[in-house]
């Protein structure tokens, strides 16, 4: 059985992620290379929703850690979506090592509601038994 290590939630106004604010320089500082590539394939509101949900996930994650972005950069965290649309967080191995996350599962939920992208994260420490 796992034990909850932390929870985090965040909401980002979608209009804050418009093309004028999200220059390539800003994108590279806030998002992983994969996320930047995927974002640049989208236009308009779809791009803004994509970026807002990903940044909300990163914020929710560091809130669940209890550290904020101390010791971790937003670009070291990436949101991926599987073939059926389930989102998950990918953290670089060096970050996992640095933050002692190897025995931790990350659960992520994303939603969009009107002008907001909202993310909820649960960090669960596991002991190896199911």
**Of 28, 33, 3, 14, whose CA–CA distance to 119 is shortest?**
14
At 126 the pLDDT is: 80
At 117 the pLDDT is: 98
Helix axes 44-65, 33-40, angle to 10 degrees: 160
Strand partners, 12: 117
At 130 the pLDDT is: 42
- Claim: this prediction has a pTM higher than 0.95: no
At 77 the pLDDT is: 94
At 13 the pLDDT is: 97
The residues that are catalytic are: 63, 112
Q: Which residue has the tokens 């190897």?
A: 102
At 127 the pLDDT is: 67
Residues of the chain with pLDDT under 50: 129-130
Return d(Cα 66, Cα 7) in angstroms, integer. Answer: 9
Top-level class of domain 3-125: alpha beta
Q: What is the DSSP letter of 43?
A: -
At 102 the pLDDT is: 79
């Amino acid at each position: 059985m796992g034990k909850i290590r932390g929870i985090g939630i965040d909401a980002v106004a979608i209009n804050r992620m418009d093309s004028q604010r999200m220059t390539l320089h800003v994108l590279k500082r806030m998002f992983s290379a994969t996320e930047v590539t995927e974002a640049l394939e989208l236009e308009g509101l779809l791009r803004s929703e994509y970026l807002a949900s990903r940044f909300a996930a990163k914020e929710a994650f560091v809130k669940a850690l209890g550290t904020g972005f101390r010791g971790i950069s937003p670009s070291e965290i990436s949101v991926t979506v599987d073939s059926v649309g389930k989102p998950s967080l990918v953290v670089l191995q060096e970050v996992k090592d640095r933050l002692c996350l190897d025995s931790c599962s990350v659960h992520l939920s994303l939603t969009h509601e009107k002008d907001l992208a909202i993310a909820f994260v649960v960090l669960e420490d596991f002991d190896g038994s199911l």
